[in-house]
Amino acid sequence: MAGENKWAIRPEETPVIRPRRLRSTAAMRRLVAETRLHPAELILPVFVREGISEPVPLAAMPGVVQHTRDTLKAAAVEAVEAGVGGLMIYGVPEVQDAAGSEGTNPDGILQQAIRDVIAEVGDEIVVMSDLCLDEYTDHGHCGVLAEDGSVDNDATLARYAEMAVVQADAGVHVVAPSGMMDGQVRVARRALDEHGHTDVAILAYTAKYASAFYGPFREAVGSSLKGDRKAYQQDPGNAREALRELELDVAEGADLVMVKPGMVYLDILSAVAEASPVPVSAYQVSGEYAMIEAAAANGWIDRDRAIMEALTALRRAGAEQILTYWAVEAARNLRQG
């Protein structure tokens, strides 16, 4: 029996159903793709810092800077030209105090930046602002503290109400409460409506976990935080409470909801997307950015493929909008096909 391959498959093993047919060429793969990304659903988070004359690069986020007011305007124009759908602005003030006073100063850095960006590109992109105190407090927490040092939920809500109104007065389209205080969406909605800002939308950070993946962001906003946020952000092991937070935020008037971080919470994203009556965003956070950039810088990973794969996974899991520091680059790549 010379020449006969005893390992050859048998006639009955010849596959009739061959899924590889649909993977055979680039054109075929494109035709059957279930998940497509579009620049319009990407949101670029940006940092604007008071009192600097040049942009300041961030060590743990190569390619990301703290902007001056002028370079922020240029970055906003660049995002519009790339077709990016939204901007999320974070202010980095010169002065921090216990109450986070700069957060409600009508001339605080975030409010000035909102006015600048709205004047520059306001009709062409959705302008959003972070509604949280951690960038402004000297203790670094997302709210004001009670005498015993804990974060005082209800006293913080009063600060958020005022912040929502000063941000809306500056012209922002969407405010994004990110502090995980109970009742924050309801209070922001009421304050906005009472001050004539019925058209300003709320993007709620709905399921926000106490995550190690926010590390590089804390440098980006000059956070003074010493402890942790476990008494207000969610425990990484808990899924059920994400759905409870969703229910509450929707009942309180959230127009859009968010899951954060992204990559290690795809199951949460999927469950929230399944249950939500409003659009669901995912935040690809600073640590996700840093990991891919660092591995790529070492030559350990194909940077461009890793970025698109990570974004596609968020979209596949159910994100309709994605906050990503790569928004402009990814939008350009998508446009070039």
* Catalytic entry in 6, 73, 208, 230: 208
Rule CB under 6 A: choose which of 47, 160, 209, 214 binds ligand PBG.
214
Query: What is the pattern of x (binds ligand PBG, CB under 6 A) and - over residues 218-237?
Result: -----------x--------
Q: Does 132 bind ligand PBG (CB under 6 A)?
A: yes
Q: How far is the CB of 202 from ligand PBG (least distance, A)?
A: 15
Question: Quick one: 197 or 229, whose CB is closer to ligand PBG?
Answer: 229
- Give dist(CA 196, CA 105) in Å, integer: 19
* Burial grade of 99 (CB within 10 A; 0-12, 13-18, 19 or more): middle
**Has 230 been annotated as catalytic?**
no
Q: How far is the CB of 189 from ligand PBG (least distance, A)?
A: 19
H helices of 129-221, in order, are: 153-169, 184-194, 215-220
Three-state SS at 35: coil
Rule CB under 6 A: choose which of 102, 116, 130, 293 binds ligand PBG.
130
- Give dist(CA 66, CA 57) in Å, integer: 6
Q: Does 41 bind ligand PBG (CB under 6 A)?
A: no
Shortest Cβ contact with ligand PBG: which residue? Answer: 217
Positive or negative torsion for Cα 272, 268, 333, 323: positive
Q: How far is the CB of 118 from ligand PBG (least distance, A)?
A: 21
Q: How far is the CB of 141 from ligand PBG (least distance, A)?
A: 9
Q: Does 310 bind ligand PBG (CB under 6 A)?
A: no
Q: How far is the CB of 203 from ligand PBG (least distance, A)?
A: 12
CA 242 to chain centre: 17
Rule CB under 6 A: choose which of 37, 285, 290, 317 binds ligand PBG.
285
Which residues, including other chains, have CB under 8 Å from residue 91's CB and lie 6 or more apart?
48, 50, 102, 103, 108, 109, 110, 111, 113, 129, 130, 135, 136
Please name which of 258, 243, 263 lies closest in space to residue 314, comparing C-alpha atoms: 263
- Give dist(CA 150, CA 144) in Å, integer: 8
Q: Does 134 bind ligand PBG (CB under 6 A)?
A: yes
Question: Quick one: 217 or 265, whose CB is closer to ligand PBG?
Answer: 217
- Give dist(CA 264, CA 50) in Å, integer: 33
* Catalytic entry in 6, 73, 230, 260: 260
Task: Calculate the alpha carbon distances from 203 to 101, 125, 132, 206, 278 in Å.
Answer: 23, 15, 12, 9, 10
CA 79 to chain centre: 15
Q: Does 293 bind ligand PBG (CB under 6 A)?
A: no
Q: How many chain residues bind ligand PBG (CB under 6 A)?
A: 10
Q: How far is the CB of 16 from ligand PBG (least distance, A)?
A: 49
H or E, element range at 291: helix 286-297
Q: Does 178 bind ligand PBG (CB under 6 A)?
A: yes
Q: Does 217 bind ligand PBG (CB under 6 A)?
A: yes
**Which range, of 17-25, 106-114, 126-134, 293-301, touches ligand PBG by CB under 6 A?**
126-134
End-to-end CA distance of the chain: give it in Å, rounded: 53
Which residues in this chain contact ligand PBG in the complex, by CB under 6 A? 130, 132, 134, 142, 178, 214, 217, 229, 285-286
- Catalytically annotated residues: 208, 260
